Amino acid sequence: MYGGVILSVGLVLLLVAGACRQEASQGSSGGEIKLPNPKDTGAMSVEEALSRRRSVREYSDQPLSLQEVSQILWAAQGVTSSRGFRTAPSAGATYPMELYLTASRVTGLSCGLYHYQPDRHSLRLVTESELSRQLAEASLSQSWISAAPANLIIAAVYERTTRRYGQRGIRYVYMEAGHIAENVCLQAEALGLGTVVVGAFDDDAVQKVLQIKEEPLYIMPLGKK
């Protein structure tokens, strides 16, 4: 029995190690990876995506494609106007959110932590360290975080909104996080992907793992169902 458990754990570690071999990032320049252009039409209606949306905590071993990652990030915070407006509403267009992506199995991306740049629709490499296991440990050991090919982290800079709206701006930031998360849930469903919104984690521990100053609000694992 114990031998079987040890063997299973060993196989998982081998799979993770194999999945996290470093790949040459596509379209990279100075640590920045230009993402494929997102699509603004799809095969699934909004109504169907709404009716099918469920929290998914189990993912296949298949990697995500860079196109899928591009579409998810665009749905979350993509720029959709020459005036800089984005896919999710923001109080006073203050846009307090910063998005980070941990990639473990994304075709065309090295394993590591990336910072989304909405204005250029690109990813900036922060570190090539594989962080999903540490991120899961900082999130009360929720295994789906370490099992997912990628995790989207939604983090806030409250001052961008509170400098205009005072303390009430904090409420607006929380509302915006919800707008973004629902966009991601619906886009994931339309792509045939699974995700779940995770709010149970140690804020300080997540900041330490990611080495960020922004306040983490949501972690969303992403993977094929």
The reply to whether 150 falls in a domain is yes
Position 9 confidence tier, pLDDT thresholds 50, 70, 90: very low
Domain presence at residue 129 = yes
Confirm whether 16 is domain-assigned.
Answer: no
* DSSP 8-state code for residue 39: P
Count Cα atoms within 13 angstroms, Cβ side, for 100: 25
Q: Look up tokens 């910072």; give the residue.
A: 115
Domains of the chain: total: 1
- Assess if residue 179 is contained within a domain: yes
Q: Report the amino acid identity of residue 4.
A: G
**Structure tokens that stand for 85 in this block:** 């407006």
Q: What is the mean pLDDT of residues 174-194?
A: 98
Q: Check: CB of residue 193 under 8 Å from CB of residue 27.
A: no
Q: What is the CATH number of the domain that holds 152?
A: 3.40.109.10
| CA–CA dist 187, 75 (Å, integer) | 7
The total of other beta-carbon atoms located within 10 Å of residue 167's CB is 8
Paired with 156 in beta bridges are 97, 215
Domain assignment present for residue 11? The answer is no
The residue-averaged pLDDT of 60-72 equals 98
Angle at 56 between CA 188 and CA 2, to 5 degrees: 135
Asked if 104 contacts 19 with a C-beta cutoff of 8 angstroms, the reply is: yes
Residues 14-31 pLDDT 10s: 444 445 644 545 545 458
Which long-range contacts (C-beta less than 8 Å, at least 24 apart) are formed by 70-73? 70/35, 70/36, 70/37, 70/38, 70/121, 71/38, 71/39, 71/187, 71/191, 72/152, 72/184, 72/187, 72/188, 72/191, 72/193, 72/222, 73/35, 73/99, 73/101, 73/116, 73/121, 73/123, 73/152
Residue 56 falls within a domain, yes or no? yes
In a domain, 18, yes or no: no
**What CA–CA distance (Å, rounded) separates 134 from 207?**
11
Q: For residue 55, tell me if it sits in a domain.
A: yes
pLDDT tens column, 71-120: 999 999 999 999 999 999 999 999 999 999 999 999 999 999 999 999 99
- Residue span of the structural domain in which 102 resides: 23-224
Residue 17's pLDDT is: 41
Cα 79 off chain centre by: 17
Residue 5 has pLDDT above 90, yes or no: no
Phi, psi of 5 (to 5 degrees): -65, -45
Is the pLDDT confidence value at 168 over 90?
Answer: yes
